[in-house]
Amino acid sequence: MSTLARTAPRTGAPARRVGTRRAGSTGSVAWMAIPALVFFAAFGLIPLVGVLALSFTQWDGIGAIHLAGLDSWRTILSDPGLPHALFVTFLVMVLSWAVQTPASILIGVFLAGQKRYRAVLAVMYFIPVLLSSAAIAITYKALLDPNFGLGAGLHIGFLTQDWLGVDKLALAVVIFVVSWQFIPFHSLIYQGAVRQIPRSMYEASEIEGAGRVRQFWSITLPQLKYTIVTSSTLMVVGSLTFFDLIFVLTAGGPGDATRVLALDMYSTGFQANLMGPASAIAVILVLVGLGLALLLRRIGGGKVADSQLEGA
């Protein structure tokens, strides 16, 4: 009995030390999230709260700030141009998504191959993402000029149209330029996702006689479910911030054919010097982007961070 009495405390002591060590290790790792939280608060939450507060004021950008209550919101919500700007914004969003998504998936699947020339193409194809949107807009504006552009130089009648002077053509040019710039980025996302799909799935389908097309529809596309949700979220939310490209390319014209909400916010705040209404438009953009992101997450089903290999 005396031996058991002496050994019992010794066997219990290590257990208490292990528990203490685990608690301490958890506490020692938690502080590593503090820098990320500080940056998020400094560059995300605080500016957002500031814009929200500014939407209830009257300010010309230089003088004193005066409280205005809901005047800025009444001005914006009663503006007949707001529904049109929202419509154009959603139109650019939907059309650019419809163009970018299929093209990005197909190019990503092609570049995921193990042949060396495809890796070279992937590097070259990524170049448009590295270019400035303003520089791209200036280049395309010069190329599409009906008098001095590419069509006039090569004497191609189809390219000598007034691309930026007709409503539908100007909108088509915006969609094309946006897709040309950002398809490589999303293709890179799909390329990485395709390479994570187990090769054994394709080998099993080959044994059953499935061809490339059947493998794409039955294996590749279902396994890219969460990647499509993530890419679509980036496309949709990113399309709400299209400003520099459209501003340089069409300036919202002809008329208001390409006047998106971000461009409306700029003209209201920095051209009309109405920072209160401009801040209200910014808040509307944030709410629309947040709602669309949550909707896409809901449509995707489950967590976007889940592994795309759940069907393996």
Q: Is 184 helix (H, G, I), strand (E, B) or coil?
A: helix
Confidence grade of residue 116 (pLDDT, cut at 50, 70, 90): confident
pLDDT of the residue at 71: 92
Is pLDDT above 70 for 7? no
Whether pLDDT at 158 is above 50:
yes
Q: How many helices (H) and strands (E) does the chain have?
A: 17, 2
The arithmetic mean of pLDDT across residues 294-308, rounded, is: 68
Other beta carbons within 10 Å of 166:
14
Q: Rounded mean pLDDT of the chain?
A: 85
Residue 240 burial (CB count, 10 A): 20
Residue 46 has phi, psi (to 5 degrees) of: -65, -45
Query: Tell me, what's the pLDDT at 311?
Result: 43
Q: pTM for the whole thing?
A: 0.81
Of 125 and 224, more confident: 224
Cα gap 190→221, rounded to integer Å? 10
- Using an 8 Å Cβ cutoff, are 245 and 173 in contact? no
pLDDT at 5: 45
Q: Does position 6 have pLDDT exceeding 70, yes or no?
A: no
Reported as a single tens digit per residue, the pLDDT across 58-88 is 998 888 889 988 999 999 999 989 999 999 9
Q: Give me the pLDDT at residue 303, please.
A: 52
pLDDT confidence tier of residue 128, bands split at 50, 70 and 90: confident
Asked if residues 183 and 235 have their Cβ atoms less than 8 Å apart, the reply is no
Question: Can you read off the two tokens belonging to residue 193?
Answer: 């996702």
Query: Is the predicted pLDDT of residue 216 greater than 50, yes or no?
Result: yes
pLDDT for res 302: 54
How open is the CA angle 73-74-77, to the nearest 5 degrees? 80
- Residue 268, amino acid: T
Position 27 scores a pLDDT of 54
Handedness of CA 183, 225, 305, 229 (dihedral sign): positive
Residue 234 CA neighbour count, 13 Å, CB half: 16
pLDDT tens digits, residue range 235-287?
A: 999 999 889 999 999 999 898 999 999 999 999 999 999 999 999 999 999 99
Residue type at position 229: V
Nearest residue to 189 (alpha-carbon basis) of 230, 222, 238: 230
Kindly state the percentage of the chain with pLDDT values over 70: 88
pLDDT at site 309: 47
